[in-house]
Structure 1
Amino acid sequence: MRIVFAGTPAFAVPALRALVEDPKRRPVAVLTQPDRGAGRGRQVRFGPVKQLAVDAGIDVLQPRSLKNEEAQAELAGYRPDLLVTAAYGLLLPPDVLEMPAHGCWNLHASLLPRWRGASPINQAILAGDEETGISLMQMDAGLDTGPVILRRATSIGPEETAGELHDRLAEMAGEILVEGLDCLDDGSLPTARSQDEALATHAPLIDKGDARLDWNRPAEELARMVRAYHPWPIAFGEIEGNTWRIHRARAGEGSAPPGEVLDDRAPEVLAVGCGRGVLEILELQGPGRKPVGARDWFNARRGRR
């Protein structure tokens, strides 16, 4: 089996590692997006998938697009039997989809057709979903629209953040990929099932502005936002005239005007009034500062008065 793997961020690393550690399935090449600058100096750094591929001695291809003939010819030179993608970030054109003998598989972090798109983990938490999972699908020309080969579900913890769920699903992606390849090897691969378009929901790219907390909204929604936008871009809101990033919070009972701090739970909890209920903030961060607990916030508040 000549496998080409396509992925870019940390989510794709467990799946690639599963292939690298199996001599029969070691990829002949890895596709990943071009290097980008990071940090204040915009120093160019390898992405997580590229770093693993380089460490493993696997050829790395980094085309800006797979639509041009040169990039397609380079890929075709590896004579792939199967192309596996996981958070690659680039759409595969029809010529690439038809290139491998077994087509192209994609590992997607949701139970398709729910949450197609770029932010399925975040959207599942924002919506209050009780479960999510990994879908192994046969790719077609659409965005996460292809028939599903295998699915594996998992419950979402009541306090689980997007970062924590991301890490669990990444490991699950590696496991379901191995399961799919085992089935392909022994001829037991399930027939891929078409998705029900009537059940499709979409998970668009996240913008930093999406993480702004509006205290007029219910506390339950704001608590989900805090979890869904952690560790990026991190929810933020205005408290007593200053903007704070909120790292940990939960919905609580009680009432107060939206945005007003309740002193009856100080100093263990910083409770802020919402449209319904209160948001109990356990950890927050001011501009240019380290995250602090509610007690430290109240101590600093006394110093400001």
Structure 2
Amino acid sequence: MRVLLIGRDSFGKDCLKALLEQGEDLVGVITVPDNAGQTKANPTRDFATEAAIPLLLPSSLKDLKVTDWVESRLPELIVLAFVTDIIPKAIFGIPKFKAINYHPSLLPRYRGGSAINWAIINGETETGITIHYIDAGIDTGDIILQERVPIYPQDTVASLYFERLYPIGVRMIAETVRMIGEGKAPRIKQDNSQASYQPILQEKHVIIDFGKSVQNVHNLIRGSNPHPGATTYLRGKKIKIWNSQIISENIKQSRPGEILQFVPQGIIIAAADGCIIAEKLQIEGGKKVSAVDFVNATEIITGEIFG
């Protein structure tokens, strides 16, 4: 089948590779342009170039030249592989089989661009992957395939994505394209009564409230790693906590955010019903460091308050 892929980063590259190995006819690739002065790798671009697949790097998908280029490639299906922009109907309406998208949740729950983050922050123990047709809404199109994926207690966004959601997603995209080509792909309407939508995770969402449960604090830290990082304050300076563990019992009567003890694993900080051990931290303008290095650099003492 004639497939045009819109994607980026290593995920886009690996989807391209899987589709080529499956025997699909890759008629074009659209990926993000190189920013002037930056040397960041662009695996999707590089793979398409090496494979001699026609390539377009537009600054915006809304440019009419993009629509014209897609039409000229005569795709039967568009595959979206890590796309954060809204795809204009003028583009996804071109192919015979329209366009499919990878979304890292069990739709209709957790629609939106930060689905992995919010699932962890909300304490979910399971998420999944949905491959669906796209329409004019945000993650509202008919479902083709779904697969459940566990969330482990110490998962961060990075570990959940790279260890499970990424590789499973590549496999599912290839499987879906094969099913569409064979005329075996279902179209399952989403149950909008079960839908939830979460906004893009921003700094304002990740301020740590040590007055909440220790599980809530730990989940926020996990769900904000690797971006944007759970935030607190100490001595008037912004601090990011990147990794933590839970200690269920209160060590003593303490105030939320109070530094209780320094241990080899990190800094023990009080929450409402227990404590966390902050293992990796970052002071504003500095680098991510171990708790030991953070303590040595800041000379903080027990009794001080994060928050």
- What range is the shorter-chain TM-score in? 0.7 to 0.9
CA contact (8 A) 1:256 1:278 kept: no
Alpha-carbon shift at residue 296 of structure 1 (Å): 4.0
Residues 125 and 29 of structure 1, relative CA distance in 2, 3 Å threshold: same
Q: Which runs of 4+ in 1 moved over 6 A?
A: none
- Give structure 1 stretches of 5+ with no counterpart: none
1:199-222 residue CA offsets vs partner (Å, 9 max, x unmatched): 111132222343332222222111
Letter of the 1:172 counterpart? I
Matches within 5 A, 1:272-287: 272-287=269-284
**2:159 equivalent to 1:198:** no
Among candidates 123, 134, 137, match of residue 129 of structure 2 = 134
**Same amino acid, percent of matched pairs:** 31
Aligned pairs (5 A) from 1:71-82:
71-82=66-77
SS in structure 2 of the partner of residue 19 of structure 1: helix
- Which amino acid letter does the alignment assign opposite residue 170 of structure 1? Y
Q: Which residue of 2 aligns with 1:20?
A: 20
Task: Out of 141-150 and 94-103, give the one that drifted further.
Answer: 94-103
In the alignment, the residues of structure 1 paired with residue 295 and residue 284 of structure 2 have an alpha-carbon distance, to the nearest angstrom, of 17
Q: Is the 8 A contact 1:270 1:281 kept in 2?
A: yes
Indicate which of 240, 260, 275 corresponds to 1:262.
260
The 2-side partners of 1:187 and 1:157 are apart by 36
Superposition pairs for residues 120-199 of structure 1, below 5 Å? 120-167=115-162, 168-189=164-185, 191-199=186-194
1:270 deviation in Å? Answer: 1.0
Aligned-pair Cα RMSD in Å: 2.4
Instruction: Give the 3-state SS of the residue equivalent to 2:152 in structure 1.
Output: coil
Q: Deviations over 1:17-66 (max 9, x none)?
A: 212334x21421111233335xxxx5264533223322332222123334
Q: How many residues align?
A: 298
CA distance in 2, matches of 1:268, 1:33: 41
Could you say what secondary structure the match of 2:15 adopts?
Answer: helix
What amino acid sits opposite 1:35 in the alignment?
D
CA-CA distance at 1:68 after TM superposition:
4.3
* CA deviation string 1:73-102 (max 9, x = no partner): 111000001101022222222222221111
Cα contact 2:133–2:142 (8 A) shared by 1: yes
- CA pair 43-236 structure 1, distance change in 2 beyond 3 A: same
Alignment of structure 1 residues 48-67 onto 2, 5 Å: 48-67=43-62
Q: Distance in 2 between matches of 1:90 and 1:293?
A: 36
8 Å contact kept, 1:10–1:49: yes
1:171 Cα offset (Å): 1.0
Match of 2:107 in 1: 112
**Secondary structure of 1:203's match?**
coil
Give the distance between the partners of 2:103 and 2:235, measured in 1 at CA.
Answer: 41
Choose from 283, 293, 298 the match for 2:290.
293
Cα distance 1:12–1:222, how it changes in 2: closer, same or farther (>3 A)? farther
Distance change >3 Å, CA 304–CA 33, structure 1 → 2? same
Name the SS of the counterpart of 2:209 in structure 1.
coil
CA–CA distance in 2 between the matches of 1:251 and 1:77? Answer: 56
Q: Distance between the aligned counterparts of 1:134 and 1:303, measured in 2?
A: 43
